[in-house]
Amino acid sequence: MKIYLQAWLFFAASLRAVSVYFGFFDVAIFQKKLFDLQPDKVNDLYGRTFGIWTLVTCIVTSSCAYDLHNATLFGVTWLSFLCAFGHFTSELAVFKTLSIKGFLSPAVVSGVSLVWMGVYYLLYRDQFHSPPPPEDTSLRKTQ
């Protein structure tokens, strides 16, 4: 199961990388394909902000896929999918900026990721580790 979840997370990170490209270089795709109900709300600033946020989540997701049993990375990655799911759900239901068509792709990726990662954690939580805290040398007395 581990290798499949890692492959899925690398796949999700690659989809996020594509969104980074669109955010910086082709924001019109967001207007046509994603926020199709209110495309006028999507501008270059939004694209760059979306691109930076998505770049961070892409890096986190790739890092988690590489070191799957790192509890901190796993938790942060899971939360990034929760934020994405919440963001797109609110844009659909509350702000009405996107249609079901625009909602489906991010909802499927984030939803599948949330469920799969949750189940994986419940099944294999004894294999997770947290990196040790850095040693604080500032409190040492010099002799």
- Distance, in Å, from the CA atom of 37 to the CA atom of 29, rounded to the nearest integer, reads 13
Residue 108 lies in a domain: yes
Q: Cβ(55)–Cβ(15) under 8 Å? A: no
Residue 138 lies in a domain: no
Span 29-86, pLDDT tens digits: 999 999 999 999 999 999 999 999 999 999 999 999 999 999 999 999 999 999 999 9
Specify the higher pLDDT residue, 78 or 137: 78
Q: Left if phi > 0, otherwise alpha if psi is -120 to 50, otherwise beta: which for 42?
A: beta
Question: Where in the sequence is the domain holding 22, given as residue range(s)?
Answer: 2-127
Span 73-100, pLDDT tens digits: 999 999 999 999 999 999 999 999 999 9
Q: Left if phi > 0, otherwise alpha if psi is -120 to 50, otherwise beta: which for 96?
A: left
DSSP bridge partners of 126: none
Q: Cβ(17)–Cβ(58) under 8 Å? A: yes
Residue 143 lies in a domain: no
For the chain, what is the domain count? 1
- Output the six-digit token pair for 134: 């850095």
Its pTM stands at 0.87
Residue 139 lies in a domain: no
Residue 55 lies in a domain: yes
- Output the six-digit token pair for 70: 């790192």
Residue 134 lies in a domain: no
DSSP letter string, 44-67: HHHHHHHHHHHHHHHHHHHHHHHT
